[in-house]
Amino acid sequence: MAKKLVYFFGKGQSDGNAKMKSLLGGKGANLAEMSSIGLPVPPGFTLTTEVCKLYYENKKRYPKELKSQVETNLKKLEKATGKLFGDKKNPLLVSVRSGAAVSMPGMMDTVLNLGLNDRVVEGMIELTGNDRFVWDSYRRFIQMFGDVAMGVPHHAFEHELEEVKRAIARRKGIQDADSLVQEALNKKVPDVAMDVDALKTLVGRYKKVYKKYTNEEFPQKPRTQLWHAINAVFNSWNNERAIAYREINEIRGLLGTAVNVQTMVFGNMGDDSGTGVGFTRDPSTGEKSLYGEYLMNAQGEDVVAGIRTPHPIKDMQKENKKLYQQLQTIRKKLEQHYKDMQDFEFTIEKGDLYMLQTRNGKRTAHAAVKIAVDMVKEKLISQSTAVTRIEPAQLDQLLHPMFDVSEESKAKVFTKSGLPASPGAAVGQAVFTARDAEEWTKEGKTVILCRLETSPEDIRGMYAAKGILTARGGMTSHAAVVARGMGKCCVAGAGEITMEEKAGRMKCSGQEIKEGEWISLNGSKGVVYVDKIKTIPPKVSGPFATLMKWADKLRTMGVRANADTPQDTKAALKFGAEGIGLCRTEHMFFEGERILSFRKMILVAPEVKRLRDLLTDEKEEERKVILQTQLEKPMKQYLEALKELLPLQRGDFAGIFRELNGKPCTIRLLDPPLHEFLPHEAEGQRELADALGIDAAQVKTTVDSLSEFNPMLGHRGCRLGITYPEITEMQTRAIIEAALQVHAKKIKVRPELMVPLVGTAEELNMQKQVITDTVNAVKKERKLKKLPFPFMIGTMIEVPRAALTADKIGESAEFFSFGTNDLTQMGCGFSRDDAGKFLVDYVKAGIYESDPFQSLDTAGVGKLVQMAADLGRKTRPNIKLGICGEHGGDPKSVKFCYQVGLDYVSCSPFRVPIARLAAAHAAIENPPRKTKTGARRKTARKRAGKK
Amino acid sequence: MAKKLVYFFGKGQSDGNAKMKSLLGGKGANLAEMSSIGLPVPPGFTLTTEVCKLYYENKKRYPKELKSQVETNLKKLEKATGKLFGDKKNPLLVSVRSGAAVSMPGMMDTVLNLGLNDRVVEGMIELTGNDRFVWDSYRRFIQMFGDVAMGVPHHAFEHELEEVKRAIARRKGIQDADSLVQEALNKKVPDVAMDVDALKTLVGRYKKVYKKYTNEEFPQKPRTQLWHAINAVFNSWNNERAIAYREINEIRGLLGTAVNVQTMVFGNMGDDSGTGVGFTRDPSTGEKSLYGEYLMNAQGEDVVAGIRTPHPIKDMQKENKKLYQQLQTIRKKLEQHYKDMQDFEFTIEKGDLYMLQTRNGKRTAHAAVKIAVDMVKEKLISQSTAVTRIEPAQLDQLLHPMFDVSEESKAKVFTKSGLPASPGAAVGQAVFTARDAEEWTKEGKTVILCRLETSPEDIRGMYAAKGILTARGGMTSHAAVVARGMGKCCVAGAGEITMEEKAGRMKCSGQEIKEGEWISLNGSKGVVYVDKIKTIPPKVSGPFATLMKWADKLRTMGVRANADTPQDTKAALKFGAEGIGLCRTEHMFFEGERILSFRKMILVAPEVKRLRDLLTDEKEEERKVILQTQLEKPMKQYLEALKELLPLQRGDFAGIFRELNGKPCTIRLLDPPLHEFLPHEAEGQRELADALGIDAAQVKTTVDSLSEFNPMLGHRGCRLGITYPEITEMQTRAIIEAALQVHAKKIKVRPELMVPLVGTAEELNMQKQVITDTVNAVKKERKLKKLPFPFMIGTMIEVPRAALTADKIGESAEFFSFGTNDLTQMGCGFSRDDAGKFLVDYVKAGIYESDPFQSLDTAGVGKLVQMAADLGRKTRPNIKLGICGEHGGDPKSVKFCYQVGLDYVSCSPFRVPIARLAAAHAAIENPPRKTKTGARRKTARKRAGKK
């Protein structure tokens, strides 16, 4: 038997089905599927993708059996429709469309109304009684066929169209013909001016154009038209655009494209005809009711063009009850069959309803959640399917205030050059210093803090502000990271803005915003508006909670939050965090007056170090004595400052432990370089000097001596703890004492102490020694044999060298937490504060798939993570592994973390639900094996704090 | 038969030999060896290290056979010496010394004169007729035995000594007794004041001290003394100091220490006795003649203490011809046996010559080279052995001017806090700006350029200066790297200096140096002197050339140099470079007036980029038109500036190609961030604005907008080429055109174009496209079918991500050059400009074995190199691999490069001989296998440019 090359569909019978995408293409398979479940699809047939393959393998010749199979199916089609191809009385018109297994914009799209010719036109006019419609269809067909199938330049037809329109205009005495044409072209005004005669003239001109470019008369035989169109589709598979598209999108392994030949139906054949689009549920609210629009005596393109206003589908209930009932039946059938909300297109031709297309409908996050949860209740889908239906990133819409879309679209843009650094919407009066942000807020005003860039000094102002805008810095700049941590809207690195902080204004493309003027930020898009835009508060409704409960049940990986204060911790727990994966201790130093103590310590620390270094020169006994007397004063000041900080930090930790109530808390020792805590401006330096009763010059000297060329790679992280072990000591003591204090009140505590920026095992060992010595000292003071709570010491893996030598580091570390922000900075060689300048271009150029600070660069940085995880487990099989970089809240990165086998991810509180959902997706896609690993994962999950 | 636990040596017969170090310890094996080759060694015996092991295994009890074996050997010793242990008439005195297989300062050292007691003292006095000598020996023995063997505190004996000395002083009427004592203690003035009575008193007092601390009388039986001493040696094996020493130095796998008991010989028994040290060749010149000093009627310690001035050994020729002849025979025997220059100690006791020790002698680099080459000529050693005799690092002494050591030791130190950034010595007048350095030099002055730190703007001043001093920056800071490249002395990062450039002075620990004052730099040590110190020019003598020829024959790895100019290239070739491994194009931009063109380009480049970015928004047709008109002017300026630079760069490259005469030249495209080329001070910005006829504010705005938080991780390397492909185009064109120009003159050329800072394969692909397009354009213009010379495109591997994905990158790169400076910065997370602040401490604390910028961190960064080499070869088996970081000139790193299988190393011209020698060492230690790899290496060597 000859190979089956053509598949029929229609009238409740189909040769193919939805699973045959690779053979029939997406469109063909879908049409076959709809047909076979009894939906009224205009019948037709599909030439398989295999034909395409054979066509190219055989020097662009078709397999010989094709012609007869097409002919057989054409006959079958004529029989099914009761129409005849090329018949004057009852002509069969068809559409010809390409359709590969993957949608591919590079190929030929559609030829409509194929089958029309001079003779059929006449018959059609008789049939429809609408000569304008028929002539317009004919001229459109010639144009489309010529352009799409035969390669006649589009502009050649357009030129004729303009000429004819001009002629009409002249005839009608309209002087300014160009403006009319322009208007018609630009605004897609209907060609009302074109009468039947004009259309006839146009058909004649089009035929001439066709001949000029093809050296052939326009073909009058429908079969010739059909084969030309089929050829065109197959040839378009290998045109430059299609090849480029496949290369860019890395589409491989396809046989070719299929060709779909389908009966035309017309919604514009009179008042008993029409067209519409429907949703099986409301795509904006998720309500379970038919939703959509329709328009009688119209074609789909009329609806799209917005020429006439369509009616809501519910109106049909009154106006055409039968059709409405039919649509309701279809709605039910679609959902029963596709198990998802469908977005479908239909046409009514002389009272008969036809389905042209159906696909999963787009919906708002809100609707998506409601639909998924409802469908589980309706037993249409499983909980697990419901969970996978929601894209984790969509949740952002539910967790932050958003702009009213219609208001936003009308608002005046200040700049679009910003990065979407922290999602949500914020409206407020512009202020240009952190101090103003604080003070204005105290006065009851709502402000947006606008800065060139932010630094830790601005923290309090950032807390006070409703939103943050910076002109410099990337997605993981200080402003962006802190804002996301606070769940606060932020637009960062808006490079087009000239920020004049001292003058209290900013400028962009000729616009200026002065202090006190209202602006609006869209932190999800990175856009700044000059206006006040209405915002809609977040809705964390019932279905959302249900869905998250299911997600939690399904996932195996823990989810923690990055939080630095009791308030943040509270927020994190509300969002479902199972502990804190990163508690940054440095932000604590900025609260209240404590910054002064901290600065006092910093100002004297370098002198302490210098004198100590001299002391190590043991041979010079005398010098030693002198130095010890020199050292006494600065050492005292240094230790005093630390002593002042101890109770404050202890209080912070106690507050966090109380909130956590037994959930684990990973606390990172001091990380940023010391100069970040000092004022860099002369004014601030003077104030500090006054507060401490010292000389301003001394402050300046210290700030200068601490300044660094590349602070990111400077004296920070555990390098500080190694130079100044007393800081590590103080922080350890604060943690242990706080834990004991909270534990004494019968509240469980689980502190995990994390050493940052470790590059070698020796660094960790040295810091671990300081930590255990301090713990032992506290135990001795309290007369404890052991700590009455679990306590772990681990490290961040954020320096490439640490990842490379993780086997060694694993000897001392009880856990690794991947600091993928810094690992990306060092691994890729990008300063997160500077890379904004070129990273956008890099993503545009495809050098990176996405911003590596937003979504983990799995091929590069991910390799380091994988390597470190493997090496760490080799040394310590039960090592706890987590991630606390910004990537912990990025769905794609969460999936990667799951693949690598991390025990948990940690992210900003506001991204916790996203991470929970992403973790569930990962587990569903790739279920944990029931082997040892599985067992390990469960234990791991427990250890990670998951219930 | 019982296990042999004691080994006899002496009188030309020995139970052991030099190979038995692990059993007899280093000292014991050496004494046995000297004995057995017939050298007159005072006889003795060695208790093996196994005894030590058994002692500890058996709860500090000796194996029972030990006692009898010691007794047997003691008898043998008495027979061999004709003396008896404890005999009054002819007493046998011995020394007892510890000696493990590895020299270990933590253990007990030596007890001399063991066997002395009250009775023997009398006999000795009769025998020697020198009661002062005997009583002094006795009191020394008690002190040494008490202190070293029995743990009596040193100060307890010292106290008695002082008391006695004070008594003498009082008796002699010297009032200021303390000062006398002080003088004696400090300057080691001989105790001439101590007469026999005083010594007798002292012996009495010492015995009391001994009893007080040990609760025992001082033992009179020599055998008791001996066993106490043996116990002490074995116990010292596990004292805290020794354990700590072994831990720190990672000494493992030793059985224990041996104990050497050896007959005492005395050089102070009269005028027919004496002592001396000898070298078999002159350790300072390498001349083949007996060299050394001796002193009659003296002990070794007298020579060491510098109490009397010893005579040169050649004087002995006149004074004691027989002894001299005997020493000559020994000299010959030693060299024949040890095949190396020996440094030996001897004692003459009553006319008999005894050898106490021999070891390979220390020597100057100059002598080392001459001796090694001479010994090959004398057929004592092979060429390969000669090559391994010279430590590559030693060569530095031969390649740079050095200070006269005696002058340097007397010079006044300004600071020792500097880093030895570029070796050699330099003397000049201090200047504090690059401009002054240039101008003063033009006036014929010799200057040292003193800066807080240097930047590319200072290049011309650095060229002009004799030496460079900076107060900031590490071993691979700009100043250090550039200075090494120029072979210019540099002390960098002298953190103690307060540099006041504007005031024209610098301060350090209360001293001040003003502009114009003379200073001297020791770039090999990192020391700055206030004085003018005499320098000695480098000597690259005949033997040096011979040795290097042998090294070249033996090595398989190529050695290239980093050079940026024809002059540097010339120097590099003189030092034996086989090509250029790194030609940095950016330094060229600073020469002459060309910096102006380059700055003109930079000033307009950001605007060009901004406008271009807008252009990509294709939909906004109108905007496009407007922008194209906006773009015209800046684009023209941008291209014009590049056009001005083209012929200048072409000329530079042509000059280098001519010098190289067919040797390969790897040229790196522009690497530093653009802001490094702009003036950062207001004054410089004003000047630039004036020169270009623009507004100073505009210059400032551009400088500000280009400034970066972490320039190291910023917009540089190929990131520039991707943003500004025209720069890559211009540089490629300059290279190709220069190569064609030189080739036309029948000079061979081998350009290799290197793309810097690649992190992903896509970056390289994009730059490669620009390069090949440019090459094709040049070919088309010249009507060439192919380039008439070999041409390669490769990349630096300096971003960790590049190393991790080197398989992908290897698809486009024809060669990899490891940029280990940046790879270290990013891999370890160290900014080379800032890390100086803590890296010194890190090395001190053992966190890194050595500064990872000086010697490659093989465990971390080396892992990346290994990984990249493996991945690269997997994709492209014949990929050429080299290193062009500073590590290319570090012997340890060169060895690592050899192990990884790199084809060549590249380093500063002045380090080329070091690298050549290190490469030879590597090949000798680990000869290339005769397998495919070997074959590959040979090809590789050819490809690397090695003849």
Phi, psi of A814 (to 5 degrees): -85, -20
Residue of B nearest to A803 (CA): B860
Task: Give the separation between CA A68 and CA A72, rounded to whole angstroms.
Answer: 6
The mean-pLDDT minimum among A334-348, A583-597, B661-675 falls in: A583-597
Contacts of B260 (CB under 8 A, 6+ apart): B25, B27, B28, B31, B44, B45, B46, B47, B95, B96, B97, B98, B99
Is the CB of B722 less than 8 angstroms away from the CB of A842?
A: yes
What's the average model confidence in pLDDT over B74-97? 93
The answer, yes or no, to whether residue B106 has pLDDT greater than 80, is no
How many contacts (CB atoms, under 8 Å) link A and B? 170
Helix (H) or strand (E) holding B48: none
Positions of A annotated as catalytic residues are 478, 884
Alpha-carbon distance A597 to nearest alpha carbon in chain B (angstroms): 24
Residue of B nearest to A612 (CA): B841
Is the CB of A709 less than 8 angstroms away from the CB of B833?
A: yes
- Residues of chain A with Cβ-Cβ distance to B838 below 8 Å are 715, 719, 722-723
Nearest to A863 among B762, B804, B844 (CB): B804
What tokens were used for B526?
Answer: 């990192």
Contacts of A214 (CB under 8 A, 6+ apart): A146, A150, A151, A152
Is the CB of A834 less than 8 angstroms away from the CB of B714?
A: yes
What pLDDT, on a 0 to 100 scale, did the predictor assign at position B594? 84
Is the CB of A835 less than 8 angstroms away from the CB of B861?
A: no
The answer, yes or no, to whether residue B301 has pLDDT greater than 80, is no
Instruction: Give me the residue label for tokens 């486009």.
Output: B812
- Residues of chain B with Cβ-Cβ distance to A833 below 8 Å are 708-710
Nearest to A834 among B708, B827, B830 (CB): B708
DSSP string, A41-61: PPPEEEE-HHHHHHHHHTTT-
Contacts of A67 (CB under 8 A, 6+ apart): none
Alpha-carbon distance A515 to nearest alpha carbon in chain B (angstroms): 23
pLDDT tens sequence across A138-185: 999 999 999 988 989 988 998 898 888 878 777 766 555 455 555 554
What's the average model confidence in pLDDT over A281-304? 85
Q: b or e along B43-52 (b: 16 or more beta carbons within 10 Å of the residue's beta carbon)? A: bbbbbbbbbb
Is the CB of A801 less than 8 angstroms away from the CB of B861?
A: yes
Confidence of residue B212 (pLDDT cuts 50, 70, 90): very high
The number of CA neighbours under 13 Å toward the Cβ of B764 is 28
Is the CB of A723 less than 8 angstroms away from the CB of B863?
A: no
- The residues with which B342 forms a beta bridge, in sequence order, are B360
Looking at chain A, the whole-number percentage of residues with pLDDT higher than 70 is 93
Confidence of residue B154 (pLDDT cuts 50, 70, 90): confident
Choose from A801, A821, A830, A865 for mutation: most chain B CBs within 10 A: A801
What tokens were used for B793?
Answer: 């495109």
Is the CB of residue B249 less than 8 Å from the CB of residue B101? no
What is the torsional sign of CA A859, A862, A867, A869? negative
What's the average model confidence in pLDDT over B532-547? 85
- Residues of chain B with Cβ-Cβ distance to A760 below 8 Å are 847-848, 860
Is the CB of A762 less than 8 angstroms away from the CB of B613?
A: no
What pLDDT, on a 0 to 100 scale, did the predictor assign at position B1? 58
Note the pTM of the prediction, 2 decimals.
Answer: 0.80
Alpha-carbon distance B391 to nearest alpha carbon in chain A (angstroms): 29
Confidence of residue B333 (pLDDT cuts 50, 70, 90): very high
Task: Give the separation between CA B837 and CA A178, rounded to whole angstroms.
Answer: 74
Contacts of A772 (CB under 8 A, 6+ apart): A793
The beta-strand segments (E) located in B170-290 are 258-263, 274-279
Is the CB of B709 less than 8 angstroms away from the CB of A714?
A: no
Phi, psi of A807 (to 5 degrees): -65, -45
Mean pLDDT of chain A: 89
Is the CB of A710 less than 8 angstroms away from the CB of B828?
A: no
What's the average model confidence in pLDDT over A392-396? 87
What tokens were used for A192?
Answer: 């009302």
- Residues of chain B with Cβ-Cβ distance to A863 below 8 Å are 804-805
Nearest to B713 among A757, A763, A830 (CB): A830
Using H for helix, E for strand and C for coil, what is the string for A341-356?
Answer: CEEEEEEEECCEEEEE
Positions of B annotated as catalytic residues are 478, 884
pLDDT tens sequence across A29-87: 999 999 999 999 999 999 999 999 999 999 999 999 999 999 999 999 999 999 999 99
Alpha-carbon distance A530 to nearest alpha carbon in chain B (angstroms): 21
Nearest to B759 among A805, A808, A829 (CB): A829
Report ipTM (2 d.p.): 0.80
Choose from B709, B823, B871 for mutation: most chain A CBs within 10 A: B709
Confidence of residue B192 (pLDDT cuts 50, 70, 90): very low
What's the average model confidence in pLDDT over B316-336? 93
Residue of A nearest to B846 (CA): A762
Confidence of residue B627 (pLDDT cuts 50, 70, 90): low
Mean pLDDT of chain B: 89
Choose from B416, B760, B822, B870 for mutation: most chain A CBs within 10 A: B760
What pLDDT, on a 0 to 100 scale, did the predictor assign at position A334? 95
Is the CB of B834 less than 8 angstroms away from the CB of A763?
A: no
Residue of B nearest to A472 (CA): B705
Q: Cα torsion for B430, B433, B439, B443, to the nearest 10°?
A: -10
Looking at chain B, the whole-number percentage of residues with pLDDT higher than 70 is 93
pLDDT tens sequence across B485-501: 788 899 998 988 999 99
What's the average model confidence in pLDDT over B588-595? 79
pLDDT tens sequence across B743-796: 999 999 999 999 999 999 999 999 999 999 999 999 999 999 999 999 999 999
- The residues with which B751 forms a beta bridge, in sequence order, are B665
Confidence of residue A931 (pLDDT cuts 50, 70, 90): very low
The mean-pLDDT minimum among A550-554, A559-563, B199-203, B617-621 falls in: B617-621
Rg of chain B taking only CA atoms, in angstroms: 35
Is the CB of B800 less than 8 angstroms away from the CB of A712?
A: no
Query: Alpha helices, DSSP H only, in A745-884?
Result: 761-782, 800-804, 806-809, 820-828, 836-844, 861-875
pLDDT tens sequence across A502-531: 999 999 988 999 999 999 999 989 999 998
The mean-pLDDT minimum among A166-180, A917-931, B459-473 falls in: A166-180
Looking at chain A, the whole-number percentage of residues with pLDDT higher than 90 is 64
Nearest to B801 among A613, A827, A834 (CB): A827
The mean-pLDDT minimum among A409-413, A604-608, B245-249, B478-482 falls in: B245-249
The mean-pLDDT minimum among A58-67, A611-620, B207-216, B255-264 falls in: A611-620
Is the CB of A822 less than 8 angstroms away from the CB of B829?
A: yes
Choose from B627, B830, B833 for mutation: most chain A CBs within 10 A: B830
The answer, yes or no, to whether residue B936 has pLDDT greater than 50, is no
- Residues of chain B with Cβ-Cβ distance to A859 below 8 Å are 805, 808
Alpha-carbon distance A10 to nearest alpha carbon in chain B (angstroms): 41
What pLDDT, on a 0 to 100 scale, did the predictor assign at position A397? 78
Alpha-carbon distance B713 to nearest alpha carbon in chain A (angstroms): 5
What pLDDT, on a 0 to 100 scale, did the predictor assign at position B818? 98
Task: Give the separation between CA A96 and CA A105, rounded to whole angstroms.
Answer: 16
Is the CB of B831 less than 8 angstroms away from the CB of A708?
A: yes
Is the CB of residue B236 less than 8 Å from the CB of residue B172? no
Is the CB of residue B102 less than 8 Å from the CB of residue B251? yes
Residue of A nearest to B866 (CA): A804
The answer, yes or no, to whether residue B661 has pLDDT greater than 60, is yes
